Chains A and B, each alone.
Chain A
Amino acid sequence: MASAAQRRIKSISYAKYGYIFILPFFLVYFFFQLWPLINTFVISFQSNKDASFVGFDNYKTILFGEGTRTARNVSKHFYSTLKNTVILWVGNFVPQIALSLSLAVWFTEANLKIPGKGFFKIVMYLPNIITAASVAVLFLQLCGEAENAPGSVNQLLGKLGIIDFNSTSMKYDSVKFITGQTQSRIVVMFIQTWMWFGNTMIMLMSGIMGINPSLFEAAAIDGASSGQVFRKITLPLLSPIMAYTLVTSMIGGLQMFDIPFLYHKEAKTVSDHLKTVAVYIYEYFHDQKDPKMGYAGAASVLLFIITLILGCIAFYLTRDKDEIAKKKQRKKIAKQKAMESRQLGGF
Chain B
Amino acid sequence: MDIKQNIKTLIVKKPLKLDCGQTINNFPLAYETYGSLNNEKDNAILVFHALTGDQFVTGINPVTKKDGWWSYAVGSGKSIDTDKYFVICANVIGGCMGSFGPSHENPKTKKIYGTDFPVITINDMVNAQINLLDFFGIKKLFSVVGGSMGGMQVLQFISNYPDKAKTAIPIACTSSHSAQNIAFNELGRQAIAADHNWSDGDYNSKNIVPDKGLAVARMAAHITYLSKKGLQEKFGRKLQERDDLKFGFDADFQIESYLRYQGSVFVDRFDANSYLYITRAMDYFDLVKQFNGNLSDAFKNTKAKFFIISFTSDWLYPTQENKDIVIALNAIGANVGFVEIESDKGHDSFLLNVPDFLKALKNFLDKSYEEKHL
Do A and B truly interact? Answer: no
A residues sitting closer than 8 Å to B (CB atoms) are none
